[in-house]
């Protein structure tokens, strides 16, 4: 009998979800057709972008849920368990629910492979995307917020027929798949725009905005530009913000100045759906500037590209510039991190190079060698790094854990049961 761990092992056996990605909609479209098109049986908000996608999705979903709509949320990647990717009413699906949808999608896929209708089993991301759509039907959601995995135009999620599309700030990431200019990347992200479907567009670099407008005009998608919504009376602290815009009162519970733009994008999206924005205040987005311990504060942040790290560094300087900063850092062997490490080195007082428990993880000694910093030490794992902080840090110090979402997930799992 297939179990939940069996389903997770099988998904992982399909390969790294980015490295083995198969851009295109034919295979996922065929599988969903044979499943009865579950993606068409509820309202959908479709969200693309480079930075802030997940947190924007979480805030839109919180607003929808607070308005009384039974709300599904599909995001990626996960921090600890794959079940986190599929949420109903802000709750991850259970292992049994995850397994049930895996069986349905997997059995359908294998039958289609055997009959020669598709060329191979769907990828990790395609499979979990189909599972999410199936869960949303099984759980009778009214509306689902669906985050693009990579790009937009050819992403597996782009089979949906959305009521609203949203594009968060675009920056450089996954250039080998999306192109090496903001214009090319924006063209891929803008591929989620649909004829007659309003698109809510966060403020963008000029060349990205120009490309989005071109695509919108081409397909006939009306745009609502967040740049036209002024932020007034902004109050921002280390763990959230509040402000007004066009008469709206927005309370953002997520930390970081960059979340002002994300929360305003979510608020504008909710207004297009004729839903109040107050529910944004209930949003939770684990592992992104999330404080998980105090005295000293330990803050987790899954910044994994240069733009995300720039936002993290700006946050540290703004709110903790007078504190001693401990940096716990680990990354994967296949990541280009020179710019990331250079920026983090500027704000760190103490650096602890460590690793997540994965074969792709870069060893702590190799991580340490990448830092041009006078105070770099190594720890064999996250728990050991936390023990060093517990022994040596003052209550007023602040520790940041970053470098990889996998590292953040492992740290979060540890802090649920205590740092020591």
How far is CA 250 from each of CA 127, 247, 265, rounded to the nearest angstrom? 36, 10, 11
Residue recorded with tokens 């987005």: 285
26-62 pLDDT, tens digit per residue, is 999 999 999 999 999 999 999 999 989 999 999 999 9
* Region 339-364 average pLDDT: 92
Tell which residue, 322, 326, 307, 333, has the closest CA to residue 390.
326
Whether residue 296 has a cis bond before it, omega within 30° of 0: yes
What is the chain's alpha carbon radius of gyration, rounded to the nearest angstrom? 21
Name the CATH superfamily, with its identifier, for domain 4-282: Mur-like, catalytic domain (3.40.1190.10)
Q: What is the pLDDT of residues 77-104, one digit of tens each?
A: 899 899 999 999 999 999 999 999 999 9
> Which residues of the chain does CATH 3.90.190.20 include?
288-416
How sure is the predictor about 405, in pLDDT bands with cuts at 50, 70 and 90?
confident
Options 3.30.70.20, 3.90.190.20, 3.30.565.10, 3.40.50.10490; CATH of 288-416 = 3.90.190.20
Quickly state the pLDDT bin for 420 (edges 50, 70, 90). very low
Lowest-confidence range among 46-60, 332-346, 350-364?
Answer: 332-346
The pTM (predicted TM-score) of the whole model is 0.91
- Please report how many Cα atoms fall inside a 13 Å half-sphere around the Cα of residue 174, on the Cβ side: 20
* Band (419; pLDDT cuts 50, 70, 90): very low
CB 356 within 8 A of CB 406: yes
Among residues 317, 178, 207, 298, the alpha carbon closest in space to that of 256 is found at 317
Name the one residue in this structure whose structure tokens are 């966060």: 202
Q: Which residue has the tokens 């089979």?
A: 159
Measured CA to CA, the distance from residue 179 to residue 162 in angstroms comes to 25
* Residues 105-122, mean pLDDT to the nearest whole number: 96
Q: What is the DSSP string of 64-109?
A: HHHTT--EEEE-S--SS-GGGGEEETTEEPPHHHHHHHHHHHHHHH
**CATH 3.40.1190.10 residue spans of the chain:** 4-282
Judged by DSSP in three states, 282 sits in helix
Mark out the alpha helices in 173-235 (DSSP H runs). 175-178, 182-189, 206-219
Count CB neighbours of 368 within 10 A. 18
Residue 19, pLDDT > 70, answer: no
Helical H segments across 220-335, by residue range:
258-272, 306-320
Which helix (DSSP H) or strand (DSSP E) does residue 44 occupy?
A: strand 43-48
Cis peptide upstream of residue 77 (ω within 30 degrees of 0): yes
Q: From residue 113, give the alpha-carbon distance in Å to each of 24, 103, 307, 370, 409.
A: 17, 15, 40, 45, 34
Residues ≥6 apart with Cβ < 8 Å to 369: none
Look at residue 17 and give its three-state secondary structure: coil
Contact between 92 and 107 under an 8 Å Cβ cutoff? The reply is: no
Burial grade of 359 (CB within 10 A; 0-12, 13-18, 19 or more) = exposed
C-alpha to C-alpha distance for 60 and 262, rounded to whole angstroms: 10
**Rounded Cα gap, residues 185 and 204, in angstroms:** 12
pLDDT tens-digit profile of 168-212? 999 876 656 576 799 999 999 999 999 999 999 999 999 999 999
- The reported pLDDT for the residue numbered 364 is 96
- Strand runs (DSSP E) across 137-231, as ranges? 143-147, 164-167, 199-201, 223-225
**Lookup result for tokens 């020179």:** 338
Confidence of residue 339 (pLDDT cuts 50, 70, 90): confident
Q: What is each CA distance from 19 to 86, 134, 321, in whole angstroms?
A: 22, 25, 38
Angle between helices 124-138 and 4-13 (to 10 degrees): 140
Tens of pLDDT, residue by residue over 242-255, are 999 999 999 999 99
- Residue 314 tokens, joined: 């700006």
Residue 305 has pLDDT above 70, yes or no: yes
Burial label for 177, CB within 10 Å (0-12, 13-18, 19+), is middle
């Amino acid at each position: 009998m297939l179990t939940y761990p069996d389903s997770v092992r099988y998904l992982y056996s399909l390969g790294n979800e980015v490295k083995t990605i198969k851009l295109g909609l034919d295979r996922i479209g065929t599988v969903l057709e044979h499943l009865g098109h579950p993606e068409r049986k509820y309202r959908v908000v479709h969200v693309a972008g480079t930075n802030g996608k997940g947190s924007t999705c979480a805030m839109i979903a919180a607003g929808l849920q607070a308005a009384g709509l039974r709300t599904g949320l599909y995001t990626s990647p996960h921090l600890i368990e794959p079940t986190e990717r599929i949420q109903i009413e802000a709750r991850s699906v259970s292992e049994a629910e995850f397994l049930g949808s895996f069986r349905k999608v997997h059995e359908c896929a294998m039958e289609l492979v055997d009959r020669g209708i598709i060329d191979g089993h769907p990828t990790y991301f395609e499979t979990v995307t189909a599972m999410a759509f199936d869960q949303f039907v099984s759980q009778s959601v009214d509306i689902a917020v669906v985050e693009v995995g990579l790009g937009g135009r050819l992403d597996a999620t782009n089979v949906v027929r959305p009521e609203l599309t949203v594009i968060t700030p675009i920056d450089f990431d996954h250039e080998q798949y999306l192109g090496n200019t903001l214009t090319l990347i924006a063209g891929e992200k803008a591929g989620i725009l649909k004829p007659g479907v309003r698109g809510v567009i966060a403020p963008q670099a000029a060349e990205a905005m120009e490309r989005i407008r071109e695509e919108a005009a081409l397909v006939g998608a009306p745009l609502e530009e967040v740049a036209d919504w002024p932020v007034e009376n902004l109050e921002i602290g280390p763990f959230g913000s509040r402000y007004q815009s066009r008469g709206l009162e927005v309370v953002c519970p997520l930390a970081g100045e960059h979340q002002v733009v994300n929360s305003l994008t979510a608020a504008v999206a909710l207004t297009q759906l004729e839903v109040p924005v107050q529910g944004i205040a209930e949003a939770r987005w684990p592992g992104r500037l999330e404080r998980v311990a105090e005295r000293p504060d330990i803050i987790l942040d899954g910044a994994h590209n240069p733009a995300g790290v720039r936002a993290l560094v700006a946050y540290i300087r703004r709110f903790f510039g007078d504190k001693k900063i401990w940096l716990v850092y680990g990354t994967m062997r296949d990541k280009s991190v020179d710019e990331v490490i250079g920026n983090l080195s500027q704000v760190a007082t103490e650096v602890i190079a460590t690793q997540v428990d994965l074969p792709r993880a870069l060893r702590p000694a190799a991580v340490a060698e990448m830092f041009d910093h006078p105070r770099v030490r190594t720890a064999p794992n996250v728990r050991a790094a936390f023990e060093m902080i517990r022994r040596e840090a003052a209550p007023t110090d602040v520790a940041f854990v970053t470098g990889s979402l996998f590292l953040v997930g492992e740290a979060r799992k540890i802090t649920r049961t205590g740092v020591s």
